[in-house]
Structure 1
Amino acid sequence: MTSTLMDLSSNTFDGEYREPIAPARLARIPKAYTTRFVAKSIEQDASGYHLVSGPQIKPQAGDVVIARVLEIGKHTRLESPVSRRQLLFPGQEIMVAYGNRYAPDQFLAFVPESLEPCHLIAAGGIAGEVKEMHASIDAATSIEPIGLLEDEHGIVNLSRFAPLSVDAPSVAAANAVGSARPRVIAVMGTSMNSGKSTTLGCLVNGLTNAGLNVAAGKSTGTGAGNDPNLFHDAGATRVVDFTDFGYPTTFLLDYETVRGLLSSMIQELSAAVDGTAPDVVVIEIADGVYQGETSRLLADPVYASLVDTTLFSAADALGAVAGLDVLQRSNVNVAAVSGLVTASPLASAEAQGVLPVPLVGTYDLCDADVAMGILDSLAERS
């Protein structure tokens, strides 16, 4: 549908139904983490918004929707713009964003073709239609879209309110072009829940304990506040993720955008803040090495030009060995293996006996000397 408004005073236009939403109603609707920049704008002025519905409406990823909770399922809470877990109630209105999701331990879901009843597919605030799900989890919480949110400029999409853009770097990032780039370390893993975020957090903490200025980011995944908050808590001086660029998730984004996100994020995090540039930038790449976007990134020469080394997170010994082989065949420098496998002494012993790179305990990375060892390995190769 076009984002150009017709007559906002009209209730109907070409199969679209448009109704004002009272500022008091909009202000009190619980809002999701993914919509936090829109929520901030509403907090400043909740007037002038409309709800757009009708059989002709085809939502797009990032479109903000007001929906009614029908039945509570897997997600019983909605993460707020400040990452508070808001308890959900049947019949309650919520503000979330449409998106696609690839989560092997949870859901495969897509943006539906219409404003039909669908699902809350992530606690961070993603609406989508579940096509497949893990056998061990509850069915998704079901929701009924009431209408897309619209302002004077058209349908409200997250990209319009995001502070960063893949195509237009911030002033600080633009000014950093030509300056010495900090070391860049990527963290990726065998799959979802292999320990990537904890590995990255511990590495950030260890490098911070060593006296370094560390910036951290997450370039792919599903929008939620827990990982950025972890990185902040670990000591990162600046944290950015794909939601800051206006994407609720990165699944099914065109590849040029995914690659641009990685490049733009590294550029953004490399910029000086208050006159101080980071010594190291650490980036998480979500999901596993076989996930579509991740697999293409690994095979892209741009990855090798942007990332100095990689920490690989694995859930078990076999995954560690097989994943490392995939990375090395893609000519990716791997400094060490870490992650969930290191929680088991037996699995660790199995892995270390066959791995050609060091196996480092996840929480050992919090030690300054251990974390600096990752940087030392870069110096040895250069």
Structure 2
Amino acid sequence: MPATTTPARVVSELSDAQRAALKVSYTVRALRDRRPAAVLRGPDVRPRHGDVVAAAVTSVGRHTRLELADGRRAHLFPGDLVLAAYAARYAPDQFEAVPPADLGPCHLVAAGGIAARVVSAHTAMTAPTCLRPLGLAVDGQGTPITMSALAGPPAPRPLRPIPTLAVVGTAMNSGKTTAGAALVRGLSAAGRTVGAAKITGTGAGGDRWLFTDSGAREVLDFTDAGLATTYRIPVERVLAAAVGLHRRLVVAGADAVVLEIADGVLQPETAALLARDELRSLVDGWVFAAGDAAGALFGRERLRAAGLPVVAVSGRITAAPLAVREAGDRLDVPVHTPDDLADPAVAAALLAGRATAAERSA
């Protein structure tokens, strides 16, 4: 790598072989066809959330595969070169991680391409996959490439409100994405042109592909708004991204929208979002995903305390008929299985129950 500038901040060219070998992760998929030609490195380089990093795999741990731009999960081996983004990770079932303060060794903390340093982990987790950063990816002027620079274009404010359902839950793995995908199927079968977006979480394509396969006309997530993850991002930035994604779905032709909010109602950014009027005005009805009856009751009450209309409960709780009965005896909203939500009559009824209010405000 021939080097230029000062030893404290060195711009080094990547060889043609290195560029070709880069495994471009889902999170930075916008760079698949325009791979960086150089990296910035040196003791004065301080990574920030959203900076794109080229790194070598030094050991393979928890994440044995990297999700590529097209959704394929590529096997990882020591010596592989990857293109990822620095960001924080919030995953109680896996890793808690934060962007490092320097270009020293770090970890691959999400298969979608998130580089960070693990600060805590679930006891079931094996050691993380380790990375050795080559440097921050830079453009032709030597400026670091950021997720913000890769964001899609903004969309104008819709002329009228579009009926919107949102799914939120107790925690990760509570069944939110499954419920959201079922709603997409049900609304599509009911004749709606559905747009779907995951507005918080960690960069990964699995949920996007599921929404697409379920029939959504257009699917977006926060990475399309320039965020690698939403953990430890100011709520104003996350909210602006959510509103922008909703507008883009409407411009793409959606006449019904399904949103998913990742993690759980106690996660800091989720809790902050649920308290914002801008999100209240965007969403007409909420489906709460829970793993058990107690979680369903807690979530219903927490959303209502925030002034958010809960129209149904779903999630992993629906796998247990006894838990459904326990919750049903105490809830005044229906508990729907994913199959229920995929029924066009059920999905349309949930949407119609709040669509009238949206239309009156137009």
Whether TM exceeds 0.5 here: the answer is yes
Among candidates 215, 222, 225, match of residue 245 of structure 1: 225
Find the counterpart in structure 2 of residue 74 from structure 1: 62
Indicate the SS of the match to 2:11.
strand
* TM-align CA RMSD: 1.7
Runs in 1 of length 4+ with deviation above 4 angstroms? 379-382
For structure 1, which runs of at least 5 residues remain unmatched after alignment?
Answer: 1-7
**1:34: Cα distance to partner?**
0.7
Indicate the SS of the match to 1:354.
coil
**1:18: Cα distance to partner?**
2.4
Find the counterpart in structure 2 of residue 19 from structure 1: 12
Among candidates 231, 239, 254, match of residue 234 of structure 2: 254
Find the counterpart in structure 2 of residue 263 from structure 1: 243
Maintained 8 Å contact 1:109/1:121: yes
AA partner of residue 337 (structure 1): V
**1:120: Cα distance to partner?**
0.2
Find the counterpart in structure 2 of residue 120 from structure 1: 108
Find the counterpart in structure 2 of residue 86 from structure 1: 74
Among candidates 337, 346, 361, match of residue 361 of structure 1: 337
**1:286: Cα distance to partner?**
0.7
Distance 2:169 2:158 in 1: 32
Among candidates 238, 255, 260, match of residue 284 of structure 1: 260
Distance 1:10 1:85, change over 3 A: closer
AA partner of residue 262 (structure 1): A
AA partner of residue 204 (structure 1): V
Instruction: Give matches, 1:230-379, under 5 Å.
Output: 230-271=210-251, 273=252, 277-378=253-354
* Residues 187-244 of structure 1, C-alpha deviations (whole Å, 9 max, x = no match): 1100000000110000000110111111000111000010111110000001111111
Is 1:61 aligned to 2:49, yes or no?
A: yes
Indicate the SS of the match to 2:354.
helix
Distance 1:10 1:376 in 2: 62
Maintained 8 Å contact 2:21/2:81: no
For structure 2, which runs of at least 5 residues remain unmatched after alignment?
Answer: none
Distance 2:15 2:120 in 1: 37
Find the counterpart in structure 2 of residue 108 from structure 1: 96
**1:178: Cα distance to partner?**
5.3
Indicate the SS of the match to 2:79.
coil
Distance 1:71 1:10 in 2: 27
Maintained 8 Å contact 2:88/2:97: yes
Instruction: Give matches, 1:64-213, under 5 Å.
Output: 64-153=52-141, 154-164=143-153, 169=154, 173-174=155-156, 177=157, 179-213=159-193
Maintained 8 Å contact 2:97/2:118: yes
Maintained 8 Å contact 1:309/1:332: yes
Distance 2:165 2:56 in 1: 42
**1:14: Cα distance to partner?**
5.3
Q: Percent identity at matched positions?
A: 43
Distance 2:339 2:217 in 1: 20
**1:136: Cα distance to partner?**
1.1
Distance 2:354 2:11 in 1: 58
* Residues 137-186 of structure 1, C-alpha deviations (whole Å, 9 max, x = no match): 2121111112111122311112212223xxxx2xxx32xx3522210111
Distance 1:367 1:192, change over 3 A: same
Give the number of aligned pairs: 357
* Residues 77-123 of structure 1, C-alpha deviations (whole Å, 9 max, x = no match): 00000010000001222111111111111111000000111100000
* Residues 233-271 of structure 1, C-alpha deviations (whole Å, 9 max, x = no match): 000001111111121101111121011112111111111
Distance 1:303 1:33 in 2: 27
Distance 1:303 1:157 in 2: 26
AA partner of residue 283 (structure 1): L
AA partner of residue 251 (structure 1): Y
Distance 1:60 1:222 in 2: 16
* Residues 315-367 of structure 1, C-alpha deviations (whole Å, 9 max, x = no match): 11110001111111111001000011001111111111111211111222111
AA partner of residue 9 (structure 2): E
Distance 2:312 2:227 in 1: 31
With the length of structure 1 as denominator, give the TM-score of the two structures: 0.90
Maintained 8 Å contact 1:312/1:334: yes
* Residues 45-72 of structure 1, C-alpha deviations (whole Å, 9 max, x = no match): x6xx212211111111121111111111
